[in-house]
Structure 1
Amino acid sequence: MARKKGRDISGWLIVDKPAGVTSTAVVNKVRWALGAKKAGHAGTLDPAATGVLAVALGEATKTVPFITDALKCYRFQVRLGQATKTDDAEGEVIESSDQRPTDDEIRAALPLFEGDIEQVPPQFSAVKVDGERAYTLARAGEEMELAARPLYVESLTMISRPDADTVELEMVCGKGGYVRSIARDLGRELGCLGHVLWLRREWSGPFEASDGIGLDEIDALAKTPELDEKLLPLELGLDDLPELKATPEGVVRLRNGNPGMVLPGEADWGEEAWVSFEGKPVAVGIYKSGEVHPSRVFNL
């Protein structure tokens, strides 16, 4: 098997994704610009969406699940009075309504979409149906009965009402949320229909769009030390886990994939934690009786 070419470089590059490009295209651009051997992202954004896309390089890809599971914040605008095929502004309008809710009616409906809810993904989504992506089937004209999926919504807030036809909202939620489904279902609940006009991910776990780098700057700094300096440390992907420090004997065992001794810290018995030694991340695992049993080991 041919070995992947590229540098063994590890860390996070936070991109402020523009509209009109796919998340995969952004990852490919970052991998090329940094000459990296390995890269991946922590949570897809639709091509039309903007905002934070956290790209993991090298060993940081092992921390992607922790960012994927973290809370995320979306700012978006809903066009009231129209339903579209794609539940966003790119799709054909399939139904219209002259009814428009008041601000108070909108605010009263928002709590219905908070907490642990069940959400049906859009027809045009990456959900798999009998091995095919739903968007592939939808583009071929098929209509599917997609199963509802659980979603945790911490908050859904009305930010502004620019006019009778539009409302701007902010949602903080867990993984697997479709903002387009929120817009669609809110419109139905209000009796006026609705779809997403624009969508921006403001933050994802510890990463914020305001700290992100644009694609133009990535192009300008490609293959330079200045772009390397934009990388954030791998351990930021472990922000939600307690840190434990390995003993000199424990770090040797952990690096070989075995349970290793750690110094007393903030982790409780049976809790997942990450382990460092002399300031560098070593592993992630379960803390038990003075040892961490590793599930991921970092080769740094």
Structure 2
Amino acid sequence: MKGPEQADRSGIVLVDKPKGVTSHDLVAAIRSTLGIRRVGHAGTLDPMATGLLIIGFGQATRLLKVIVGHDKTYLATIRLGQATTTDDADGKILPAKADSRLAVKNLGRAMVESTIADHLTGDINQVPDSFSAIKVNGRRAYDLARQGKEVELQSRPIHIDRFQVLDYRPLTLHGGPPGETSQNQGRDLTGTDASKTDATGAETVGTDRVDTEVVDTEARDTEVVDLDVAVTCSSGTYIRALARDLGGLLGTGGHLTSLRRTRVGRFDIGDPALQGRIVTGQVSSRTYRNRQGQEETRNRVDLAQPAEEILRDSISLVDAANLIMSTVEVDREEAAMLANGRFLKAQVNGPTAAVARDGEGPYLAAVLVPYKDSLAKPDVVFHRGSQW
């Protein structure tokens, strides 16, 4: 049982999400460990993905909508030569056509890089995949897709600042079927290591590890190309859709086999100043009976750090605000005005943190947004009591 002083605290937690659990599973683990009900995250990672997940608790959940809009960096592996139902390794492999197999044979690194530069870099329009978390008439697209319903999503503008090929590997998958297969986590089909280093010595994401259950009686070798890539992109970009679209442009088909998010705005998982504050966890499975009395098994996250350590290493509201937006200093009288919803005479461009000071130090009074006539209005206000 957590004390009331802990339940009233606020902060940002940086989590290195393990593979095999949902972002919601991480939120539930933080909520349970800290004994704090108000917990949320900034930007979903799929179960197969790993890397930086930003979680806010207490009043810091109000900062998440600012954080989620920042640009992001990913390391990923794209497999050309195979398309799947979900555009990633969790889906079923779609039957390959003869012309797509020929396209794989004719591929080269220069062709791939020029296609990326010409069509998938800069300002582009992207149609999210049908297994995304976008809502369609109030329901998540992935829920509709899993029910076999057709999902049509509109294209949306995104910006790709960097889409760099780090490694190019032609592979032959032995014993692969010409028809449909399903993928589950298991051995590496190619027998290669799942990670490697590039020319700079930096670790890059390698071939995903999959088991293939053959549902076609005739089997043959399958030629594919695995690309290790680094992508820096705007909020709202789907890396699975980039893999799908690259495969479509090249005529090979393509899907994502691994994904790791390394940065969200100024929160970088490789930043030495932040590495000691990152929460980690191990995945375990548990079996239970659902409401229908059926036995089910699902994964859960066991955090490696206790509550006291997570709270100690969390990022305060003021420090988080300094990392994600511009700030302005306000006095205690102005802070009280903002707390009552009154406007501040100030020129701001975009979300801006209003920081005040008292005998205990600086605290976040409000997040301001532009208003007419050189005024700023408080979009969100914060109470002093739960900041430190």
Normalising by structure 2, we get a TM-score of 0.70
Deviation of residue 44 (structure 1)?
Answer: 0.3
**2:111 aligned residue (105, 108, 128):** 105
Aligned to 2:24: 24
Cα contact 2:279–2:303 (8 A) shared by 1: no
Alignment of 1:52-63 (within 5 A): 52-63=52-63
SS of the equivalent of 1:83 reads coil
- 1:175 & 1:124 partners in 2: Cα distance? 17
Aligned to 1:256: 340
Structure 1 residues 257 and 77: alpha-carbon distance in aligned structure 2, compared to 1, 3 A threshold: same
SS of the equivalent of 1:239 reads helix
Deviation of residue 87 (structure 1)?
Answer: 0.5
- 2:242 & 2:88 partners in 1: Cα distance? 11
- 1:136 & 1:226 partners in 2: Cα distance? 37
Deviation of residue 222 (structure 1)?
Answer: 2.8
Q: Does 1:213 align with 2:279?
A: yes
**1:169 aligned residue (223, 229, 242):** 229
After superposition, give the CA deviation of every residue in 1:254-280 in whole Å (9 maximum; x if it has no partner).
222222467xxxxx4555421111221
Alignment of 1:1-300 (within 5 A): 7-96=7-96, 97-98=100-101, 99-100=103-104, 101-111=107-117, 112-164=119-171, 165-210=225-270, 211=275, 212-216=278-282, 219-223=303-307, 225-235=308-318, 236-237=320-321, 239-260=323-344, 268=347, 271-278=350-357, 279-286=362-369, 292-300=376-384
Structure 1 residues 226 and 133: alpha-carbon distance in aligned structure 2, compared to 1, 3 A threshold: closer
What is the letter of the counterpart of residue 226 of structure 1? E
- 2:258 & 2:349 partners in 1: Cα distance? 42
Aligned to 2:287: none
- 1:50 & 1:282 partners in 2: Cα distance? 34
Deviation of residue 195 (structure 1)?
Answer: 0.3
Cα contact 2:321–2:353 (8 A) shared by 1: no
- 2:377 & 2:147 partners in 1: Cα distance? 48
Cα contact 1:123–1:146 (8 A) shared by 2: yes
Deviation of residue 220 (structure 1)?
Answer: 4.1
What is the letter of the counterpart of residue 124 of structure 1? F
- 1:146 & 1:255 partners in 2: Cα distance? 40
What is the letter of the counterpart of residue 19 of structure 2? A
After superposition, give the CA deviation of every residue in 1:189-212 in whole Å (9 maximum; x if it has no partner).
111110001000011112223433
What is the letter of the counterpart of residue 43 of structure 1? G
Cα contact 1:123–1:134 (8 A) shared by 2: yes
Structure 1 residues 134 and 36: alpha-carbon distance in aligned structure 2, compared to 1, 3 A threshold: same
- 1:121 & 1:187 partners in 2: Cα distance? 15
Normalising by structure 1, we get a TM-score of 0.89
Deviation of residue 237 (structure 1)?
Answer: 4.4
Structure 1 residues 270 and 148: alpha-carbon distance in aligned structure 2, compared to 1, 3 A threshold: closer
What is the letter of the counterpart of residue 135 of structure 1? Y
Deviation of residue 149 (structure 1)?
Answer: 1.9
Structure 1 residues 276 and 143: alpha-carbon distance in aligned structure 2, compared to 1, 3 A threshold: same
Which structure has the greater CA radius of gyration?
Answer: 2
Aligned to 2:217: none
After superposition, give the CA deviation of every residue in 1:55-102 in whole Å (9 maximum; x if it has no partner).
011111111111111000011001110010010111111132322220
Cα contact 1:30–1:218 (8 A) shared by 2: no
Cα contact 2:348–2:376 (8 A) shared by 1: no
- 2:321 & 2:161 partners in 1: Cα distance? 21
- 1:136 & 1:293 partners in 2: Cα distance? 38
Cα contact 2:56–2:64 (8 A) shared by 1: yes
Deviation of residue 150 (structure 1)?
Answer: 1.9
Structure 1 residues 271 and 73: alpha-carbon distance in aligned structure 2, compared to 1, 3 A threshold: closer
Structure 1 residues 140 and 292: alpha-carbon distance in aligned structure 2, compared to 1, 3 A threshold: closer
Deviation of residue 218 (structure 1)?
Answer: 6.5
Cα contact 1:9–1:37 (8 A) shared by 2: no
